[in-house]
Amino acid sequence: MRPTSLIVNIVSQSACSTCHAKGACTVSDYQDKEIEVTEYKLNYKVGDEVTILFKQSKGFTALIWGYVIPFFVVLGTLIVALEITGDELKAGILSLIILIPYYITLYFFRHLLKKVLKFELEENA
């Protein structure tokens, strides 16, 4: 029986990490990331190299949900709280605290976001 999803391991490294002088430099960047792919046709085994596809439009959607909307939520809360309280410190703290329920809500709806923002495998049969 085939598993319902694949976990693909991506090794991301900057150009600095392949430099011969990286031992003397602290700039080198090396990251190990995991991506879940739910829809695929072929059978894969551990160690197979695959190509991951992610549409640019889905990247913009992720950008909007992760950065643009929270920015406007913080900005709107800051403006409204400043008008109501007149205290910059309270308005600033409240505008940052408002992000907690926003990201908790995103966390609870992550199953819906996974359907929209899904990675695909390039199938080379």
Read off the tokens for 89: 């410190």
Q: What is the pLDDT of residue 23?
A: 59
Distance CA 64, CA 112 (A): 15
Q: What is the pLDDT of residue 108?
A: 93
**Is there a contact between 108 and 25 (Cβ–Cβ < 8 Å)?**
no
Residues of the chain short of pLDDT 70, as ranges, are 1-3, 12-31, 40, 123-125
Q: What is the pLDDT of residue 24?
A: 58
In tens, the pLDDT along 23-43 reads 555 555 666 777 777 776 777
Distance CA 100, CA 70 (A): 10
Distance CA 7, CA 35 (A): 6
The pTM of the full predicted model, rounded to 2 decimals, is 0.62
In tens, the pLDDT along 64-78 reads 888 999 999 999 999
* 3-state secondary structure at position 1: coil
Distance CA 54, CA 56 (A): 6
Read off the tokens for 46: 């551990």
